[in-house]
Chains A and B, each alone.
Chain A
């Protein structure tokens, strides 16, 4: 598989933009996944549409993988998450649990993730989102460099 894939990346980006546009113009909601995911429990009174959105998201991923096998994931090679860097001596499940915990806390406190701040926030010309994107993007780059996970 070719590793440089700007065309499919741009098409996929356009689809993601369309997804956020549909939810905004239809329901007046920001399609930020951490926000949609993070308010699945009461007292949020908006659980139903959030569940509908997330179920559709998983189903469409499955459908797209069936239509275009091997493009993103789930082709001949079974999908897998990354393993913890060997030099750190941390078991992969623990590594992923820490990563998940930080992602959950960080996106709740910082009020958004790649979609909410990155796509919706920047399109709204929000200063908060610009700051958030610069911070999480730089920190992620430094993290990859420091951990040597790639």
Chain B
């Protein structure tokens, strides 16, 4: 199994590190900044902060190039195959889940990446959010039936 080798772990560490730096530099870690971006109601008054719209474009472009490069190979550098999500259907679970996440994101301005990276600053109540997010994730795997859960897990 490739997954305990040093290059594999170093890659995971490098990726996590770049991710954390990106979340900080882009200011995605700041819940209020995120909420001000989501506050489209402030557009007429000029109070809208569109900054975070500039985060996703460069991220997608870089990843798109990586996906293209990967397509020319049979396998990634340190594992035997690409773990490409296999589940393709747009179904009620996808839409319902995304809607629930949207409510949570709009309530707190924290998506899962920033939730973890905020551990670096230990703001009040962060542990409550993290514990609830973890509990929710566990509850979600109970709600989704088992065969389906396994396919979803494989696709992640």
Contact = CB atoms under 8 A, between A and B. Distances in A.
Contacts of A131: 90, 94-95, 98
Contact of B153 (A5, A44, A60): A44
Interface in B32-74: 32, 35-36, 38-42, 49-67, 69-70
A46 B106 contact: no
A25 B77 contact: yes
B54 to A, nearest CB: 4
B103 to A, nearest CB: 5
Contacts of A53: 12-13, 15-16, 19
Contacts of A28: 70, 75-76, 79, 81-83
Contact of A31 (B19, B30, B54, B90): B19
A18 B153 CA distance: 24
Contacts of B13: 52-53, 55-56
Nearest to B130: A100
23 contacts: A9-B27, A13-B26, A13-B55, A14-B62, A26-B14, A31-B19, A38-B137, A38-B141, A44-B153, A57-B16, A73-B121, A100-B135, A102-B107, A103-B133, A104-B135, A104-B139, A111-B97, A114-B111, A132-B94, A141-B106, A143-B38, A149-B109, A150-B35
A121 B65 CA distance: 13
Interface residues of B, number: 122
A6 interface: yes
Interface string B74-114: 01111101111101111001111111111111111111110
B98 A135 contact: yes
Contact of A27 (B11, B29, B65): B11
Given A6-B51, A65-B120, A92-B125, A22 B31 contact: no
Interface residues of A, number: 120
Nearest to A17: B62
Given A53-B13, A81-B108, A101-B133, A128 B89 contact: yes
A19 B19 contact: yes
A107 B38 CA distance: 19
Closest 5 CB pairs of A and B: A104-B136, A12-B26, A110-B97, A143-B106, A139-B102
Interface string A35-59: 1011111001110111011111111
Given A28-B83, A105-B97, A16 B3 contact: no
Given A24-B70, A131-B98, A141-B106, A12 B57 contact: no
Given A4-B49, A49-B3, A56-B12, A17 B60 contact: yes
Nearest to B134: A104
Contacts of A110: 93-98, 100-101
B116 A54 contact: yes
Contacts of A106: 96-104, 136, 140
